[in-house]
Structure 1
Amino acid sequence: MQSPEFPDIILFAIPFFILAMLIELYVTVKEGINSYEKKDALSSIAMGLGNVFLGYFSKALVLLSFLFVYENFRLFTIPVAWWSFVLIFFADDFAYYWFHRISHECRLFWASHVVHHSSKHYNLSTALRQTWSGGFYTFIFWLWLPLLGFHPAMILLQMSISLLYQFWIHTETIDKMPKWFEAVFNTPSHHRVHHGSNPIYLDRNHAGILIIWDKLFGTFQPELKDEKVIYGLVKNIDTFNPIKIAFIEWVNMFKDVFSGRKSIAKRLLYFVKPPGWTHDGTGKISDDLRKEWMDSVESKNK
């Protein structure tokens, strides 16, 4: 079977990204929505450009890994056909959900994913605020696809389609989509929740394209009218320096691993436990913060 070849649709979409951001900027200024800040937007764009540049190296690693699994261990050979694109749409989206969820629940993966959450603003430029390190190891969540028999070129194409879809949902200019769309697909409203640092919104709505996974696995949270989303991190990094944005959590994680007196087992747990966890029990993870918030709400309502 001849290997399929597909274009890099992300590169072709760059002019669309620029045009969409300019339109959004015009709309937000006209409607008085304070969603853009110059230094923040420039930092996001710089992170996006760095991601594209490093992607030439990380994608080579990903492609070689997918090809190795596909050529040596695949269980089936799935042809390039209309129905196989339907299958890979759901398979890729399922893989993305678990990659995204684990990236919030395991600090080793959060170290690269935190980049995307580091802005205190929410606009289309935030979508470009992408990791410089994640591309070199997060692809492991997709290795089961070439194992099943999907060709690596198909997988990479669908991963790009997913990333392209998620660009438009990073906006405050769209309130709600039609109810049927909100019920099935990831939307600006659902994804605003995901970027919230409010305790009730933490680690929710990990969807790529389909919100059904969050509803199925208990991580869905609708946007609440009386709980305005506060964007950013529980503890914001407060820097516009792209180098710091890209690597500050890696530095902090390794400091926690190697500093102080603790057993090797506890040191290793800093890699696998959620952000906020500490070996001495003084830290708070998102579940702790959410419980405190819920208890506070219940107390006020009594």
Structure 2
Amino acid sequence: MNVELILLALAPVFVLCIGIEAWYWRRRRPGMYSLKDTISNATLALMHQGADKLAWLLIVPFYAWLYDHHRIYTMPAGWVGFVLLFIVQDFLYYVFHRASHRIRWLWAAHVVHHSSERLNLSTAFRQSLMYPVAGMWLFWTPMALIGFTPIQIVGVVLLNLAFQFFVHTQAIPKLGWLEYVLNTPSIHRAHHARNPRYIDRNYAGVLVIWDRMFGSYVEESDAEPCEYGIVDQIHTHNPITLTFHEWRAMAHDVVTMPGWRNKWMALFGPPEWRHARETAPMPEGKTT
């Protein structure tokens, strides 16, 4: 696939950019990079890529079946088709990304990406091999139904993710009017922050217009510097622990919580539901 070849060619560019950024911060802020953190990010990336390639072997034929037998339209070729492809996928990425923060089953995979207390270009590599299990691929199925081929779907998803590599940096300040249109490093820094002001904001892939339209946008504030990581911070660089710690906690809650509603919420409620339940006052007449 041509897009995959492009991304393969970009891999040295990504590594070079990480090297340049690490050199840039070496004297300015030496703690910006950590060898253990960077190696952990790289290992998680390799694990993710392996799982992703296996998943595509099953998912692409499914997209092809939807496209061949159930599409409602055939999208035009050329620039018009590409613009439509780009806009539709970017909107669906926004939906996926927002759901990944608000549904615990999806968050169990996505939390890996947010688990570092640093934010640098290598953080973009910090991904989970559990995305196919969580169901990320389901969010692209509407594209096959409305008439985009599997090659187009996979290609535009990869291009969207390639763009997002470059927003994982603290070296670039706000970018003026571009902040109204594109996802920028400043916008994405706020997304990665665990300060209450920034939690569950700025889900943009490429276009930030979706955040502005649907009320999830917040501006990075100099008065409240971003603190990176997750609320329940996990202090480890072990890729296996980082990958499965939330799945393990979720399984424990499903087994131990009483009642089917609680079990359902432990799986598909918002990630903070567990804490809200633990701190809620007991109903009158009830005891623990």
The residue number in structure 2 matching 1:124 is 121
8 Å contact from structure 2 (residues 18, 121) kept in 1 = yes
Q: Any residues of structure 2 matched to 1:269-280 within 5 Å, and which? A: 269-278=265-274
Mapped to 1, the partners of 2:40 and 2:156 lie a distance apart of 27
Q: 1:195–1:283: structure 2 CA closer, same or farther, 3 Å change rule?
A: farther
Mapped to 2, the partners of 1:210 and 1:50 lie a distance apart of 28
In structure 1, stretches of 5+ residues that fail to align are 285-302
Shift of 1:28: 0.8
Whichever residue aligns with residue 271 of structure 1, its letter is L
8 Å contact from structure 1 (residues 276, 283) kept in 2 = no
The residue number in structure 1 matching 2:284 is none
Structure 2 residue matching 1:199: 3-state secondary structure: coil
- Match for residue 243 of structure 1 among 240, 243, 247: 240
The residue number in structure 2 matching 1:135 is 132
User: Are positions 1:27 and 2:42 aligned together?
Assistant: no
Shift of 1:279: 8.7
Deviation track 1:251-290 (CA, whole Å, cap 9, x = no partner) reads 1111111114x11222111111111213972259xxxxxx
- Match for residue 201 of structure 2 among 188, 201, 204: 204
Mapped to 2, the partners of 1:98 and 1:118 lie a distance apart of 21
- Match for residue 181 of structure 1 among 178, 181, 190: 178
Q: 1:279–1:233: structure 2 CA closer, same or farther, 3 Å change rule?
A: closer
Mapped to 2, the partners of 1:122 and 1:279 lie a distance apart of 26
> TM-score normalized by structure 2?
0.93
Segments of 4+ moved more than 6 angstroms? none
Please identify, of 269-278 and 103-112, the stretch whose mean Cα deviation from structure 2 is larger. 269-278
Mapped to 2, the partners of 1:80 and 1:181 lie a distance apart of 29
Structure 2 residue matching 1:45: 3-state secondary structure: helix
The residue number in structure 2 matching 1:287 is none
Report percent identity of matched pairs: 38
> TM-score normalized by structure 1?
0.89
Q: Any residues of structure 2 matched to 1:155-174 within 5 Å, and which? A: 155-174=153-172
The residue number in structure 2 matching 1:39 is 36
Shift of 1:33: 5.4
What root-mean-square deviation, in Å, do the aligned CA atoms of Structure 1 and Structure 2 show? 1.5
The residue number in structure 2 matching 1:86 is 83
Mapped to 2, the partners of 1:245 and 1:16 lie a distance apart of 26
In structure 2, stretches of 5+ residues that fail to align are 281-288
Shift of 1:23: 0.3
